[in-house]
Amino acid sequence: MQLFNVLLVVFLVVCAIAVERTKDLLSAIIIFSAYSLMMSLLWLILKAPDVALTEAAIGAGVTSLLFFAVISKTKRYEK
């Protein structure tokens, strides 16, 4: 369980850095979605199922969809 927790946190940090480093905004959104999913699992491990549920629905679902909608109106690549 401890190893799983450490793995999740490491993946979380990697995702957070990768979101900031990517130039392709579409990939950045997908990485951000993965970050949200990891965060949701971490909330579950921290015994906050309420927050985990909201994070999975809002963070991984609705936020990325709204970002996709915004990208379809602007440009895909960061300058």
**Distance between alpha carbon 27 and the CA centroid of its chain, in Å?**
11
Joined together, the tokens standing for residue 76 give 């895909």
Q: Does 54 bind another protein (CB under 8 A)?
A: yes
| Binding segment toward another protein, per CB under 8 A, in 1-9, 10-18, 30-38, 51-59 | 51-59
| Binding segment toward another protein, per CB under 8 A, in 6-14, 20-28, 32-40, 47-55 | 47-55
Beta-carbon contacts of 19 under 8 Å, excluding residues fewer than 6 positions away, are: 28, 31, 32, 35
3-state secondary structure of 73: coil
Q: What is the contact surface with another protein in residues (CB under 8 A)?
A: 49-50, 53-54, 57-58, 61-62, 65-66, 69-70, 72-73
